[in-house]
């Protein structure tokens, strides 16, 4: 086991940090941005090569692993970037890369790498609480001629409002199917909304949407395996993103304790706060370590071990995020609860990250199941 | 000692319960039970019912319109109204200023202000905290300089709850700049319409705007608006802060939110989840213990480890418990707590993506609950105070 | 609900405190004492009227409730009294009082009130973890003529080595039986040992012990109900005893923080310790309140509510005891871990109290079951 | 970054594992795994095996008999030996004095003392703490006054681990009474047989007697037993305290005790208890995180929030986690933790009531575990130190 960070990783992270420092001024982080601005920034991220990090070189990408992307995600989290890096560059790109035919890869991955296409994952369904098994899905395909019709509803589609296409999970006669559906398909209605942390989210309604056979990416066992893998990948990405956000929360709290005076001395001189700050830092460092473990597991480990380690990382990060968020607010006092203060925006980002692809309870159960499976 | 309430107390409890059931507007009740935003009109509607019944100021003496209840009756009233989904008494005139005026005000002040407070015609804002001072009230910098029959007030107050609902302000000001902290402070009453006063709402991270800043720029306050003696304001402020004793632990509110947890668990099909059930159990037991402690404080010949610090301890545990309940509610929400818009905080929310899904409000409720350990003297300050009582001598 | 303490309660507590201050010097608390001394002290407690508090006036007692005994138990806990007050005066006396015939009451209760007889409860069995249902017990009766034979093993019999008789729980054809067995019965072997907190405990082996029909106290439903009631009563007593021990731990820690100097100032000036001391005190006060609730519930409440409130009290007290014990040790530093320091003896008393009649996990389950039963 | 250890590292791990399996006396292993008392002979037996293999001093440089391992090898060695049930290295000569003598000792001192330490022929006790000083080492009062070729030492040391196993003592003494705290301190070596030294065992609350007091009454110590320079002892003490870095988190010991939890749960028929299972899960995850952090510290180009405080943080979390595991073990014991006698702490315990029920030792193990957050610098001191690094500047 080796946690050394290579020079290449460091350089990539530094480049992203420069981008973030320029593009996301501290005082505007966490505020909603216009669709135009989101679109423009996505293009800038493509120029930096970020949108193609998961994409093969054949399709114009650089075929990096999660370990390489960890620093990218930490920086994006630290800057509260609302761009669809997770949904498009991590989740959708990796699914199409892993499952797509050469034709599908050409069709979808090349434009993703060039920043011309944003693709979101449509997985969750209303009323289903982290239920990811194909058989239970309400979204379903019915045969029609050579192709299919897709009907049903998908919820919590992160970055859905801006997406040009969706990777959709549905069932056909109880068998899981993964397919790509363009956002402008006839019969697809998109209801846009916002997340707690002012990002874009959508509910999709499919009403007999025509699906050609060559839109299918995978089915059955292969689809279930790919879905588990991409959820682990997304979870590792969420860990890295959360570590970035927590780093900033701890840093801002530490600075506040140094400068804020109460009862005639800096807050940082109060031992009770000192000890709690140390516990925040320990939680952050444990999260940083487990985020790296999750990234390495995604790149290296066979499935049961990968899922187990990623779940452990999500639990570690999720608990740390709760602790750090609460303490950062408490130590900032009422100021920490204002919209003007950055603290709240970071807290909300962490709250959303905790809930994507399974909250702490779900991850604990996943850890137990995958431990039993590995035994 | 007696486990049961007396038959008279039980009858009183039933009377309060029946009153709430009969008189509380169902729309207001729904907002309270679902943690949604209340308008001023909602509060006034309920307070007016209480006023008409003679129950609006349980903490005031009878000759000023209090109902003359025992401490147990006050406790039962708090519990039953909150459990029944009624709005809390947030009006500072009722909770804070009234008792101070009754104890220290002139006959003219009492006559002028108290009846309007009871009728909810007049709402008072509290001007204590200042930027940069936080819990350190004694280091305030707002000044009042005597000029003939007026004080000229300059300064900046912050974290003033519900000032946008209010027409009046009670305020701590420094009348002797050379005095030590906690001395040279006076307690002034003002009309918020006085020239030079500006109220600015503070937007909060969960979308709320209950808090405000109050800017005071050469505000002329008539000297008859001084409460008690000049430079003795700290005494009155301490009296005010120490006055509210029942209710500080928030038992009724915690019970009401625990009912909400159970309702949501049932609605979400999570009633059989042993892990979440165990957390409900642990919180229920903590609530029982807190309630027993709140009631024990009312009994005679009690032994306490830190006499005088009971209110601080109830505040600390009461707020931590309420926060834990709100955290559990937020967990019950699951992924449904991801989408949010401020519309979700209104009973007739119009957000098309969220619709009427109650769970979308739970993240905001959780964020809002973080204030409980900050306001009214942070829990750190409460622990400092308690430790001083434990370790002196 | 009224927590006021009457003058009579206060006077009884004061009398016990005077006895304890004289009989249990601080530096000898928690040390094992000889059988002679135990015997002598029991006689002194009888003279104070303590051994007959549960016993009816007809049998020479004063027929007090748990509320009246609460102060007695707190004081005995505060002094780490190793006397069999719980096993004889609370548990056995109340069972015989509730279930015995007039003749049985005369036979057993009068000598208990006079301090001439110590009776212990033989309930637990090896391998059974808080399993109190009659049907599952290994100890069993078999018919023989007018009477029975008793065989089997009972463990964790608190104060068993000094007992003159035992109230024994056994089954007869799957039906719970409660009976009184003299310690000198033929076929009864007693294996003496000590508890973690240096009190006396025994394992009993019954080998075809002859039991006459008039030794039976109750059977079936009535016995199950009485056993539940006496476990609740014992639990309420353990709460009071633990509150006494915790009061002393908090008091000693508070004094230590005042006088002990580190880094040039008293420990009590360190804010992190101050805040933790406050949490100890809050836990203690919550326990004191719930201990009173448990006592009142034993005296007043119908069974499901009584069991629920007592379990809640046990959980509150159990958690408080863990917290207070850990913090008292930590704040005393290595000194708190020595046999010479009183802290450890109080900690051990609390550890044993937590385990008698069900630990925290067991009490949580009991609370859940009795809540469901009451609903 | 790489999740897997290298093939070489894995081969090394297998080599250590095989060595432990082949060489560790099963009776010693059983004592370690069941948390029972070890005799000096148990330690010496195991240390002698390690010495013969060349593995007794992994922390020493190669030219003094260290095996020349990488940090990862040291980590794997710690983990595999502890996981395999081997006794910890408690000898202060190996862990503490050796590195100090190697860095600051004279050639004569090295030659005289180091080989005997490696062969477990000589056991050293550590005389740092004093009564009334606790973690506040700098305020010590034991004095050494130069008289010709000797120091005359007077004072009183306490909390000296395993002094009853030892024949030698290294000791901090005040050689300049007028100097400020942390200055005027010297580092002396003594033979425990020197007249004027008395070792008195301290009986601990769980029956253990690993700790001792050492009384020093006009003890004559030859000047050649001074380590380094006079009045510079604090520097050497800090070097000593900061030296042990790997192993501070106690990963191997935690893993071993978690295995014990699982074994006992199975034996007690509690494997299906979801609540207790969940606690095992949470501790397992915390252990994974701690282990990852311990290994990350060994990697290059790492980001840390408090550079220089990594060891303190590992000590804090590592000890808290081990305590949590011992608390869980104690819970698993259930009512079987009520009976206890000191006999229960020996492999061939003779207590007739307890017999060979392992669970009777778990209360004592839990009580013993409370020391983890006290010794080696209390966790409060570790948090103070870390906070100072975080908040300086």
Domain locations in chain C as residue ranges: 7-117, 120-219, 222-374
CB contact under 8 A, B3 and C284: no
Mean pLDDT for the stretch of residues C73-85:
98
Residues of D with Cβ-Cβ distance to B275 under 8 angstroms = 274-275, 278
Scanning every residue of chain A, which has its alpha carbon at the shortest distance from the alpha carbon of D286? Answer: A316
Q: Is the CB of C271 inside 8 Å of chain B's CB atoms?
A: yes
What's the whole-number average pLDDT of chain D? 93
Residue D61: pLDDT above 70? Answer: yes
Residues of D with Cβ-Cβ distance to A247 under 8 angstroms = 305
Option in D268, D334, D378 nearest C359 (CB): D334
Is the CATH number 1.10.540.10 carried by domain A7-117? Answer: yes
Buried b (16+ CB within 10 A) or exposed e, A59-89: bbbeebebbbbbbbbbbbbbbbbbbbbbbbb
Scanning every residue of chain A, which has its alpha carbon at the shortest distance from the alpha carbon of C269? Answer: A271
Residues of D with Cβ-Cβ distance to A287 under 8 angstroms = 289
Task: Report which DSSP code applies to D93.
Answer: I
Q: Is the CB of C137 inside 8 Å of chain B's CB atoms?
A: no
Q: Is D266 helix (H, G, I), strand (E, B) or coil?
A: helix
Closest Cα in chain B, distance from residue C74 (Å): 12
> Residue B13 is encoded by which pair of tokens?
């409890």
Buried b (16+ CB within 10 A) or exposed e, B282-315: bbbbbbbbbbbbbbbbbbeebebbbeebbbbbbb
C residues 108-137 near A, CB within 8 Å?
Answer: none
Mean pLDDT for the stretch of residues C206-235:
97
Which residues contact residue C251 at a Cβ distance below 8 angstroms, ignoring those fewer than 6 apart? none
Q: Where are the alpha helices (DSSP H) in D297-355?
A: 310-333
Sign of the four-CA dihedral C154, C157, C162, C164: negative
Which residues contact residue D334 at a Cβ distance below 8 angstroms, ignoring those fewer than 6 apart? C129, C130, C355, C359, D268, D359
The partner residues of B173 in beta bridges, in order of sequence, read: B186
CB contact under 8 A, D1 and A316: no
Is the CATH number 3.40.50.2300 carried by domain B238-391? Answer: no
Q: Which of A226, B282, A89 is nearest to C360 (CA)?
A: B282
Please say whether the beta carbons of B385 and B312 come within 8 A: yes
Distance CA A238, CA B306 (A): 46
Residue tagged active-site, from D244, D320, D327, D331: D244
Q: Is A367 helix (H, G, I), strand (E, B) or coil?
A: helix
- Per-residue model confidence as pLDDT tens digits over B131-154: 977 667 777 899 999 999 999 999
Residues of C with Cβ-Cβ distance to D338 under 8 angstroms = 156, 195-196, 201, 352, 355-356
Question: What confidence category does residue D178 fall into, taking pLDDT thresholds of 50, 70 and 90?
Answer: confident
D residues 45-74 near B, CB within 8 Å?
Answer: none
Please say whether the beta carbons of B280 and C249 come within 8 A: no
Subunits next to A (3 or more Cβ pairs <8 Å) are B, C, D
Residues of A with Cβ-Cβ distance to B203 under 8 angstroms = 338-340
Task: Give residue D72's pLDDT.
Answer: 94
Residue tagged active-site, from B23, B183, B198, B244: B244
Sign of the four-CA dihedral D295, D298, D300, D305: positive
Distance CA A369, CA A354 (A): 20
CB contact under 8 A, C272 and D383: yes
CB contact under 8 A, B292 and C295: no
Task: Give residue B349's pLDDT.
Answer: 74
Work out the percent of chain D whose per-residue pLDDT is above 70.
98
Option in A9, A284, A312 nearest D305 (CB): A284
CB contact under 8 A, C10 and B282: no
- Going by their DSSP bridges, the two strands A147-158 and A165-172 should be labelled as unpaired
- Per-residue model confidence as pLDDT tens digits over D218-234: 999 999 999 999 999 99
Calculate the alpha carbon distances from D293 to D248, D270, D290, D315 in Å. 12, 31, 5, 12
Q: Is the CB of A290 inside 8 Å of chain B's CB atoms?
A: no
Q: Is the CB of A288 inside 8 Å of chain D's CB atoms?
A: yes
CB contact under 8 A, A270 and C270: no
A residues 267-286 near C, CB within 8 Å?
Answer: 270-272, 274-275
CA angle A186, A192, A195 (to 5 degrees): 145
- Going by their DSSP bridges, the two strands C119-122 and B185-191 should be labelled as unpaired
Closest Cα in chain A, distance from residue B340 (Å): 5
Task: Report which DSSP code applies to D6.
Answer: P
Q: How many CB atoms lie within 10 A of CB B180?
A: 8
- Per-residue model confidence as pLDDT tens digits over D185-199: 999 999 999 999 999
Q: Is the CB of B278 inside 8 Å of chain D's CB atoms?
A: yes
Burial of B364 (0-12, 13-18, 19+ CB in 10 A): buried
Task: Give residue C116's pLDDT.
Answer: 96
Task: Give residue C105's pLDDT.
Answer: 97
A residues 21-60 near C, CB within 8 Å?
Answer: none
Mean pLDDT for the stretch of residues B218-245:
90
- Per-residue model confidence as pLDDT tens digits over D261-319: 999 999 999 989 999 999 999 999 999 999 999 999 988 889 999 888 999 999 999 99
- Going by their DSSP bridges, the two strands B124-127 and B185-191 should be labelled as unpaired
Task: Give residue D91's pLDDT.
Answer: 92
CA atoms within 13 A on the CB side of D63: 4
Strands, E assignment, chain C: 119-122, 140-144, 147-158, 165-172, 175-182, 188-194, 200-211, 216-219, 261-262, 265-266
The partner residues of C325 in beta bridges, in order of sequence, read: none
Task: Give residue B243's pLDDT.
Answer: 67
CB contact under 8 A, A359 and B331: yes
Task: Give residue D134's pLDDT.
Answer: 65
- Per-residue model confidence as pLDDT tens digits over D307-364: 889 999 999 999 999 999 999 999 999 999 999 998 889 988 789 899 889 999 999 9
Task: Give residue D245's pLDDT.
Answer: 52
CB contact under 8 A, A340 and B203: yes
Mean pLDDT for the stretch of residues A206-222:
96
Q: Is the CB of C120 inside 8 Å of chain D's CB atoms?
A: no
Mean pLDDT for the stretch of residues A329-333:
97
φ, ψ at B174 (rounded to 5°) = -90, 115
Please say whether the beta carbons of A240 and A284 come within 8 A: no
Task: Report which DSSP code applies to D350.
Answer: -
Which single residue is written with the structure tokens 């000692």? B1
Scanning every residue of chain C, which has its alpha carbon at the shortest distance from the alpha carbon of B75? Answer: C1
ipTM: 0.96
Topology (CATH level 3) of domain C120-219 = Butyryl-CoA Dehydrogenase, subunit A; domain 2 (2.40.110)
Task: Give residue B182's pLDDT.
Answer: 79
Closest Cα in chain B, distance from residue A127 (Å): 8
Which residues contact residue B236 at a Cβ distance below 8 angstroms, ignoring those fewer than 6 apart? B100, B103, B104, B187, B227, B228
- Per-residue model confidence as pLDDT tens digits over B310-349: 999 999 999 999 999 999 999 999 999 999 998 889 988 7
User: Could you state, in order of their start, the residue ranges of all structural domains in chain B?
Assistant: 7-101, 124-230, 238-391
Which residues contact residue C27 at a Cβ distance below 8 angstroms, ignoring those fewer than 6 apart? C342
Subunits next to D (3 or more Cβ pairs <8 Å) are A, B, C
Please say whether the beta carbons of B97 and B117 come within 8 A: yes
Residues of A with Cβ-Cβ distance to C271 under 8 angstroms = 270-272
Buried b (16+ CB within 10 A) or exposed e, C38-57: beebbeebbebbbbbbbbbe
CB contact under 8 A, A270 and C274: no
pTM: 0.97
Q: Which of B172, B285, B283 is nearest to B231 (CA)?
A: B172
Q: What region, left, alpha or beta, does residue C107 occupy, with left being phi > 0 and alpha being psi -120 to 50 degrees?
A: alpha
Strands, E assignment, chain A: 119-122, 140-144, 147-158, 165-172, 175-182, 188-194, 200-211, 216-219, 261-262, 265-266
Closest Cα in chain A, distance from residue D180 (Å): 24
Scanning every residue of chain C, which has its alpha carbon at the shortest distance from the alpha carbon of A275? Answer: C272
Scanning every residue of chain A, which has its alpha carbon at the shortest distance from the alpha carbon of D299? Answer: A4
Distance CA A258, CA A265 (A): 10
> Residue C61 is encoded by which pair of tokens?
């007692």
Residues of A with Cβ-Cβ distance to D300 under 8 angstroms = 4-5
CB contact under 8 A, C333 and D135: yes
Scanning every residue of chain C, which has its alpha carbon at the shortest distance from the alpha carbon of B279? Answer: C364
Distance CA D85, CA D21 (A): 9
Question: What confidence category does residue C239 fall into, taking pLDDT thresholds of 50, 70 and 90?
Answer: very high
What's the whole-number average pLDDT of chain C? 96
Please say whether the beta carbons of B349 and B356 come within 8 A: yes
Please say whether the beta carbons of C88 and C52 come within 8 A: no
Task: Give residue B249's pLDDT.
Answer: 84
Please say whether the beta carbons of B88 and B251 come within 8 A: no
Q: Is B350 helix (H, G, I), strand (E, B) or coil?
A: coil
CATH number attached to the domain at D7-101: 1.10.540.10
Which residues contact residue A34 at a Cβ distance below 8 angstroms, ignoring those fewer than 6 apart? none
Q: Is the CB of A4 inside 8 Å of chain D's CB atoms?
A: yes
Q: Which of A370, A70, A77 is nearest to A228 (CA)?
A: A370
Residues of C with Cβ-Cβ distance to B286 under 8 angstroms = 286, 316
Q: Please say if B111 is a catalytic residue.
A: no
Which single residue is written with the structure tokens 């609350």? D205
Distance CA D259, CA C271 (A): 38
Mutate to test the interface with B, among D272, D273, D274, D277 (most CBs of B within 10 A): D274
Return the CATH number of C222-374, one of 3.20.20.70, 2.40.50.840, 1.20.140.10, 1.10.10.10: 1.20.140.10
Q: Is C219 helix (H, G, I), strand (E, B) or coil?
A: strand
Closest Cα in chain B, distance from residue A266 (Å): 12
Host H or E run for residue D199: strand D197-201
Superfamily of domain B124-230: Butyryl-CoA Dehydrogenase, subunit A, domain 2 (2.40.110.10)
């Amino acid at each position: 086991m080796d946690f050394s960070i290579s020079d290449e990783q460091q350089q990539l992270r530094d480049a992203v940090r420069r981008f973030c420092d320029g593009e996301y001024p501290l005082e505007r982080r966490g505020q909603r941005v216009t669709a135009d601005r989101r679109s423009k920034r996505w293009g800038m991220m493509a120029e930096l090569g970020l949108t193609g990090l998961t994409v093969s070189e054949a399709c114009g990408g650089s075929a990096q692993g999660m370990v390489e992307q960890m620093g990218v995600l930490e920086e994006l989290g630290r800057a509260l970037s609302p761009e669809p890096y997770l949904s498009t560059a991590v989740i959708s790109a990796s699914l199409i890369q892993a499952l797509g035919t050469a034709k599908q890869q050409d069709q979808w991955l090349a434009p993703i790498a060039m920043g011309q296409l944003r693709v979101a994952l449509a997985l969750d369904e209303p009323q289903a609480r982290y239920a990811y098994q194909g058989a239970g899905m309400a979204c379903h395909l019915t045969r029609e001629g050579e192709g299919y019709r897709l009907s049903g509803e998908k919820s919590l589609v992160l970055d859905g409002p801006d997406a040009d296409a969706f990777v959709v999970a549905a069932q056909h006669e109880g068998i899981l199917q993964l397919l790509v559906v363009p956002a402008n398909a006839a019969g697809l209605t998109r209801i846009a909304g916002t997340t707690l942390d002012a990002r874009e989210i959508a509910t999709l309604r499919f009403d007999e949407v025509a699906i050609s056979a060559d839109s299918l990416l995978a089915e059955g066992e292969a689809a279930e395996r790919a879905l588990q893998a991409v959820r682990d990948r997304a979870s590792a990405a969420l860990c890295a993103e959360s570590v970035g956000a927590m780093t900033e929360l701890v840093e801002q709290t530490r600075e506040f304790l140094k400068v804020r005076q109460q009862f005639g001395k800096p807050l940082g001189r109060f031992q009770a706060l000192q000890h709690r700050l140390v516990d925040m830092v320990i939680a952050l460092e444990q999260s940083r370590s487990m985020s790296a473990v999750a990234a390495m597991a995604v790149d290296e480990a066979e499935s049961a071990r990968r899922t187990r380690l990623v779940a452990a990382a999500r639990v570690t990060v999720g608990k740390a995020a709760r602790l750090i968020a609460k303490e950062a607010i408490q130590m900032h006092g009422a100021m920490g609860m204002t919209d003007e203060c950055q603290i709240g925006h970071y807290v909300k980002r962490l709250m959303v990250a905790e809930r994507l692809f399974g909250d702490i309870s779900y991850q604990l159960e996943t850890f137990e199941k995958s431990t039993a499976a590995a035994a | 000692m007696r486990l049961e309430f007396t038959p008279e107390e039980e009858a009183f409890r039933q009377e309060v319960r029946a009153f709430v059931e009969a008189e509380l507007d169902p729309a207001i009740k729904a907002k309270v039970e679902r943690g949604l935003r209340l308008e001023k009109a909602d509060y006034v509607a309920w307070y007016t019912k209480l006023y008409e019944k003679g129950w609006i100021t349980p903490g005031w003496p009878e000759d000023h319109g209090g109902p003359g209840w025992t401490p147990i009756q006050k406790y039962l009233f708090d519990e039953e109204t909150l459990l029944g989904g009624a709005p809390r008494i947030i009006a500072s005139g009722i909770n804070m200023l009234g008792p101070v005026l009754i104890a220290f005000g002139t006959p003219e002040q009492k006559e002028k202000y108290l009846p309007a407070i009871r009728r909810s015609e007049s709402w008072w804002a509290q001007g204590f905290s200042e930027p940069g001072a936080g819990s350190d009230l004694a280091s305030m910098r707002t000044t009042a300089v005597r000029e003939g029959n007026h004080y000229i007030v300059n300064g900046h107050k912050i974290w003033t709850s519900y000032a946008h609902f209010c027409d009046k302000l009670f305020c701590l000001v420094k009348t002797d700049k050379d005095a030590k902290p906690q001395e040279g402070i006076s307690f002034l009453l003002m009309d918020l319409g006085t020239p030079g006063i500006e109220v600015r709402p503070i937007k909060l991270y969960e979308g709320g705007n209950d808090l405000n800043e109050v800017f005071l720029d050469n505000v002329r306050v008539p000297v008859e608006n001084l409460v008690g003696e000049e430079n003795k304001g700290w005494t009155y402020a301490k009296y005010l802060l120490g006055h509210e004793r029942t209710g500080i632990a928030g038992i009724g509110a915690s019970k009401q939110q625990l009912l909400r947890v159970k309702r949501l668990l049932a609605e979400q099909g999570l009633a059989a989840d042993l892990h979440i059930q165990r957390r409900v159990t642990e919180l229920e037991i903590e609530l029982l213990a807190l309630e027993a402690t709140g009631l024990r404080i009312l009994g005679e010949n009690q032994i306490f480890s830190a006499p005088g610090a009971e209110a601080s301890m109830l505040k600390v545990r009461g707020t931590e418990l309420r926060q834990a309940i709100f955290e559990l509610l937020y967990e019950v929400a699951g992924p449904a707590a991801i989408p949010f818009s401020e519309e979700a905080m209104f009973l007739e929310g119009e957000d098309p993506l969220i619709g009427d899904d109650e769970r979308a409000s739970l993240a905001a409720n959780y964020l809002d609950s973080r204030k409980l350990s900050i306001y009214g003297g942070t829990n750190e300050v409460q622990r400092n105070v308690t430790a001083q009582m434990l370790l002196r001598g």
